[in-house]
Structure 1
C-alpha cells in the first residue's frame, strides 16, 4: 500500500500516483456554497437577520464551531446561508431545543463547549510556515521532519491509524498554479478523486489513494502555490474529516490583510455597536483549589476580552473565591477555570472607560515583537521560541516575562503570559478556544490595550 507520507511527497515529485481523497462521509463544499436560501421562508429570513445583527466575525465563529461539531461542512463565510441555517437547526435538535436557526446565548455556550471537546482532542494549533498561517492537529501529528518545500507532520509510526500533514510552497516558475491543479486531480487505477474545484485564488482536490483519504488546498501568490496536504486512515473518520475543513478555513497568507483574507473566503469583520455592559452579579461556583494551596485573599490582573464583560485572568488568582471584586467595586461571576494551565474567566460589569481587546487569529512567529499587558504600560519583549519548556506546544517562550496578556503589534490578544512573570505564555489559539468554550465571543472591534486591564480581588471561601 502506498504510505500516507507518499501523498505529500508526490505533490513535490509530480507523481501521477497522488490522489486527493474527499471526506469519507461528507463532501467538502466550495467557500461560496452557503449562499442559497430557502424560497419564501420567514424563519430563514429571521435567522439571517439575526446573523447580520451579530456581525460577520461573530457569526463566522459560530460556523467554525459548527464545523467542529460535525454539523457544517463548508468554510466559515460570516454569512447565513442554507447550509449554516440547517446546521444550526440540526445542532438545536440534537440538544433538544426548538430548531429556530437562531442561537440563544445559552445555546451558543453549549455549542462552544461541544466544539472545544474536538479542538482539545486533536490539539488543533496554529503555526506559520512557508509564508502561510494554518491550524493543524498538533496533538495527533507529533512527529516533524523537514522537506525541501516545507515541513511534514505525522502520527508516530507505532500508531494504529496514521495521519499526516504537509505544509508546502511550490514555485510557480517550475509549475504553474493551473498545471499543479491539473496534475493533482488526475486519477489512476489506485487513486480516486471525489472532489475538485479551481478558482482564480485557490483550488481544492480531495479523494482516496490506495485506501487512504486525503484533502489538498492551495492558494495562489505572485511567485508560489502555497497550501497543505492532509491525509488520514479512513478508520479515523468521521471525526477526523472535520480537521480537514478546519484546516481549510484557517489557511491564509502570513500577515495577510483583511482584503487578502476576503479573497480566500474569509469575512472582513464589520463594525457593530458594543453591547451594553452586564449588571453586577455575584461570584459563581468556586474553582477548586490546587492541593496545598493557601486560602488567602489574592489580587491579580484581569484582561477585558469582550464588550459583554468577559474578563480573562488566572485560575491561581480566583481559585477558592466566593466573590471576585473588580476595581471600582463591581462584583464578577466566576465562569470557569483551568488550574493546570492557569487560565480563568470571570464576567462582570465593564469599568468605566475600559475597552476590550481584539483577539488575534494568526499564529505568532519566531522573533516577533510583542508586549505584555502587565498594568497600564505594556512591557516590550519578543517571541524567542514557538514552544514552551519540554516542547509544550500550548505555549511560546518569550525573551522576557511579566504577568498579563500577550499583545501583538496591532494591539490584539495573542496569549496569556505566566502568572509568576516567567518567560512563557499560553498561545492565543489555546486562550481563544478556552474563552469560546466558556461562552465568550470576541468584540467586533478591539480597543486601546492600555485600557483593557483591570485589577480584581478574590475573597476566598472557608479553608
Structure 2
C-alpha cells in the first residue's frame, strides 16, 4: 500500500509540475517621466500642489491637487509647455512657472475667485459673477443676474438626512436629470451631471453632526472655460472649524406671533485687522513694504501694522490694512490709488541651497545666499541666509521669493508661505514684474491705544 501511494504521489507531482516559462519582457522605462517625477518629489508636496492648482485654472489638469506627480499632472505640464512653445519636458523652468502663475491669475481675476467661509466650510467661489445672494433653509444661495451660474453652500444636519442618504438622493436620476459621475467615500462625496439643461457639480464632506458642501450649477454654453471653476472650488474646500457646526450668519426670520424685535444696539467698531498684542507698545512705527500687485497691494510685516486700520506711505498717501498673520509676521496693506512703480513678479519654484538671492531693504538690493532650506530651531517655514536685513527676498531675476525677518535675523519666510498668504487675501500676481529697486515702500503706523 505504501508503494502504491508513493507511485501515485509521484505521478500527481509529475502532472502538476509547471512547465518552464519565458520571463515576460520588462516594461520600458519612460526616462522623461521619471525625471519629471523626481523633480516634483524634490520640489515638495506643497509647492507641487500649487503648480497643480494653477494647471487647473489654465484648463490643463482635471483632477484635484495631490502634491504628487502622476501621469495626469505630467501630461498637463507638457500640454502647457506645448502651448507656450517650450520644450515638453514635464519640468517647469523658473520663468515657465511664473508664466503659468500669470496665466492662472487671468482666470482667477476673470471670475473674481475669492475665499469665503459659510456654515462651517471655507472655499473659493466666483464672487465676480455670483453677485446676487439669498438666504436658503440650509445655507446661502448665490447667482448671476442672468441666473446662468448658481451656487448653494449647504450644511444639512445629520438628523434630517444621513450622509449616505444624501448621496443616494443626489445620484438619483429622473427625467431631465442625468448623473455622469458619482463617488462616495467615508468622508466625502461627489456627484456631477446635468439637470434641466444645466451642468452641475456637487461636493460634500461628512462631519459628526452634518454634511457640508456646495452645489454649483452653470449653463453649458459657458463651458469648457467655466468647468475648471468646479474643480478649483473642490480643491479649495475645507472644514472651517474642525467639524463643529457653525452658526449661521443669516438673521432669524420672525414669525407672526413673535414679539416685535427690539432695535439693535449700535455696533461697536470692528477694530484693526491685525490686533495689537497685549502689552505691546503703542508708539509710532516705521518699516518697509513691497509692491506685489498692480492693484496697490503691499506686502509688509504683521508686527509693523498691528493695531492700525490704515498706514501712511512716504509722501503722505494712506493705505488700508487688509489683514495679517502675526505667527508668520506677514501682512497686507492696499493703497488706493496704487503707487506708481511696477510691482514685483512672484517666484513659484522653491529656492535651493546655495542659491544667490538679495534682500530688498532699500533702493539697492543687498546680495546674500541661501545657506540652509530650514530656519533656526528646525523652523520649516523659513530658510537660513548668509546675512539678514528687513525687506522682501528676491531671486536673481528680481522676483519675490520670500520675506526676510523684520528683526534683521538671517532668515526669511519661504516664498510658498508668502504667496499662499497673498492668494488667500485675494491678491493675484502681476502680469509683468517691475524693477525691484523701485518696488520698496516706506510705511508708518501709529497703533490705537
Q: Which residue of 118, 123, 143 corresponds with 2:132?
A: 143
1:192 aligns to 2:196 (yes or no)? no
Aligned-pair distance for 1:442?
Answer: 7.7
Give TM-score, length-normalised by structure 1. 0.56
Aligned-pair distance for 1:42?
Answer: 1.3
For the 8 Å contact 2:57–2:108, the answer to whether it is kept is yes
Question: 1:201 & 1:87 partners in 2: Cα distance?
Answer: 28
Aligned-pair distance for 1:168?
Answer: 0.4
Structure 1 residue matching 2:166: 3-state secondary structure = helix
Aligned-pair distance for 1:108?
Answer: 0.5
Partner of 2:103: 114
CA distance 1:166–1:381, change in 2 (3 Å): farther
CA distance 1:162–1:39, change in 2 (3 Å): farther
Partner of 2:70: 81
Aligned-pair distance for 1:50?
Answer: 0.5
Structure 1 residue matching 2:332: 3-state secondary structure = strand
Aligned-pair distance for 1:407?
Answer: 2.1
Give TM-score, length-normalised by structure 2. 0.58
Structure 2 residue matching 1:121: 3-state secondary structure = helix
Q: Which residue of 308, 330, 333 corresponds with 1:417?
A: 333
Q: Aligned runs of 1:399-438 on 2, under 5 Å?
A: 406-408=323-325, 410-411=327-328, 413=330, 416-419=332-335, 438=346
Structure 1 residue matching 2:59: 3-state secondary structure = coil
1:162 aligns to 2:148 (yes or no)? yes
For the 8 Å contact 1:141–1:155, the answer to whether it is kept is yes
Partner of 1:285: none
Aligned-pair distance for 1:408?
Answer: 2.8
Question: 2:106 & 2:83 partners in 1: Cα distance?
Answer: 16
Q: Aligned runs of 1:337-416 on 2, under 5 Å?
A: 337-338=293-294, 341-343=295-297, 373=302, 375=304, 379-380=306-307, 406-408=323-325, 410-411=327-328, 413=330, 416=332
Question: 1:459 & 1:142 partners in 2: Cα distance?
Answer: 34
Aligned-pair distance for 1:406?
Answer: 3.1
Question: 1:92 & 1:102 partners in 2: Cα distance?
Answer: 9
Partner of 2:167: 181
Structure 1 residue matching 2:129: 3-state secondary structure = coil
Partner of 1:207: 193
Q: Which residue of 204, 213, 217 corresponds with 1:231?
A: 217
What are structure 2's unaligned runs of at least 5 residues? 1-26, 244-285, 310-317, 337-342, 352-373, 375-379, 384-389, 391-402, 409-435, 441-449
Question: 2:156 & 2:133 partners in 1: Cα distance?
Answer: 19
Aligned-pair distance for 1:256?
Answer: 5.0
Aligned-pair distance for 1:149?
Answer: 1.1
CA distance 1:183–1:412, change in 2 (3 Å): farther
Structure 2 residue matching 1:80: 3-state secondary structure = coil
Partner of 1:48: 37
Question: 1:172 & 1:130 partners in 2: Cα distance?
Answer: 14
Partner of 1:396: none
CA distance 1:84–1:207, change in 2 (3 Å): same
Structure 2 residue matching 1:140: 3-state secondary structure = coil
Question: 2:348 & 2:322 partners in 1: Cα distance?
Answer: 16
For the 8 Å contact 1:412–1:446, the answer to whether it is kept is no
Measured on the aligned residues, the alpha-carbon RMSD in Å equals 3.5
Partner of 2:367: none
CA distance 1:202–1:451, change in 2 (3 Å): same
Deviations 1:285-325 (A, max 9, x none): xxxxxxxxxxxxxxx8545xxxxxxxxx23xxxxxxxxxxx
Structure 2 residue matching 1:197: 3-state secondary structure = strand
Q: Which residue of 69, 81, 84 corresponds with 1:95?
A: 84
Question: 1:54 & 1:404 partners in 2: Cα distance?
Answer: 33
1:61 aligns to 2:14 (yes or no)? no
Structure 2 residue matching 1:110: 3-state secondary structure = helix
Deviations 1:404-452 (A, max 9, x none): 7832354364x512459xxxxxxxxxxxxx98x7434688943599963
What are structure 1's unaligned runs of at least 5 residues? 1-37, 258-299, 304-312, 315-335, 346-356, 358-371, 383-400, 421-433
For the 8 Å contact 2:153–2:214, the answer to whether it is kept is yes
Partner of 2:202: 216
Structure 2 residue matching 1:73: 3-state secondary structure = coil
Partner of 1:446: 381
Structure with the greater relative contact order (CA < 8 A, sep ≥ 6): 1 or 2?
1
For the 8 Å contact 2:43–2:350, the answer to whether it is kept is no
Question: 2:439 & 2:127 partners in 1: Cα distance?
Answer: 38
Structure 2 residue matching 1:173: 3-state secondary structure = coil
For the 8 Å contact 1:301–1:404, the answer to whether it is kept is no
